[in-house]
Copies of this chain bind each other. A is one copy, B any other.
Amino acid sequence: MRVGLDMGGTKTDAVVVAADGSIAARVRLATGWGGEEIVRTAVAAVNAVATDAGIGLDDIVSVGVGIPGQIEAGTGRVWHAVNLGVDELDLAGEVAPVLGIPVRVENDVKAAAFGAYALRGSTHGLDLRHGSMAYLNLGTGIAAGLVTNGELWRGARGTAGEVGHISVDPQGPACRCGQRGCIEALAGGGAIAERWNRPGRLPVRDVFDAADAGDPEAAALRSGLAGGVAAAVRILVLTADVDVVVLGGGVTALGDRLMTDVAAELAASAEASPFMRSLRLEERVELLPTGSPAAALGAALIGAQTGEPEEVLTHG
């Protein structure tokens, strides 16, 4: 059995994956804050999901962890996981010796991309060794993960899929990164909440509601969001030519309301340009179902690729 964890800012999603790729158990826990608590949460999540599956730690071959932050290539070290209160943490090195199981760590968007690819393949009966997909995560920030022929596209220096910081409008809003008109400044949940700047637990939903009620500021924010997502889709297809772009992340809880806006943006460029029309982008965008275990599943599958368990175990 393989365990996968998706450690988010508020919740950690844990799954047990059987040898046939099916999910045998799934539990969710609150995520702690700061390095020590993150390690504690990871250990607790593995124990909890093992209990739920009715297995012991001895039955677990590997643990994969998806976490929002930069991952040092080839190690289990995490950098700048700001939403988790972590500046630097040797997550694999801390967790593996406690559990006695090899641990592999991956960026959460890459893990979700890998899991979404596997889920989509099994749903559609696709040969996972062929085909390509981008997973576009619409959360506080915006980033994509690319999978091609069954492998994560990691890129040369770990920035593959960082489409959030591509500027698509020199007159656009200032981005936290320092540039103007970045896709993340237009369509990131964090940037929209900041510009909306009103109390509310679900600011992007509030923006959509206010736009529906005729608020012009909200309508502009909402249109910027759809424009930013559509730009990301075009960039992913025109650069990497993936078969399909799967949208996921917190903002996609808006479901059809979001998809309708994005489809309208894609239709507008298809209307203007025969070349864009030939790409049939509107047919190549899909929504990851709310509550999908893609990220935790992807983490488990990446954990299963662990080469030398000893290396990880002797790390701590």
A interface residue numbers (CB < 8 A to B): 131-132, 144, 146, 148, 153-163, 165-171, 175, 177-180, 231, 234-243, 269, 272-276, 279
Contact = CB atoms under 8 A, between A and B. Distances in A.
A279 B168 CA distance: 18
Contacts of A170: 168-169
Given A155-B242, A167-B231, 9 more contacts: A144-B239, A148-B153, A153-B240, A154-B241, A165-B273, A166-B239, A167-B234, A177-B275, A178-B276
Contacts of A175: 273
Contacts of A153: 148, 240-241
Contacts of A165: 238, 273, 275-276
| Identical subunits present | 2
A236 B239 contact: yes
Nearest to A183: B238
Contacts of A169: 168-170
B177 A276 contact: yes
A276 B167 CA distance: 11
Contacts of A237: 159
Contact of A241 (B155, B236, B238): B155
A166 B238 CA distance: 7
User: Top 5 A-B pairs ranked by shortest CB distance?
Assistant: A155-B241, A178-B273, A160-B241, A156-B243, A178-B272
Most buried by B among A165, A239, A243, A269: A239
A131 B170 CA distance: 32
A234 B168 CA distance: 11
Given A168-B168, A169-B169, A160 B239 contact: yes
23 contacts: A131-B156, A132-B156, A146-B240, A148-B153, A153-B241, A155-B241, A155-B242, A156-B242, A157-B279, A159-B238, A159-B279, A160-B240, A162-B239, A163-B239, A165-B273, A166-B235, A169-B170, A177-B273, A178-B272, A179-B276, A180-B272, A239-B239, A239-B240
Contacts of A159: 237-238, 241, 279
A239 B243 contact: no
Contacts of A269: 167, 179
A161 B236 CA distance: 10
Contacts of A272: 178-180
Nearest to A182: B273
A167 to B, nearest CB: 7
A168 B239 CA distance: 14
A179 B131 contact: no
A166 to B, nearest CB: 5
A166 B241 contact: no
A175 to B, nearest CB: 8
Contacts of A158: 241
Contacts of A279: 157, 159
Nearest to A161: B239
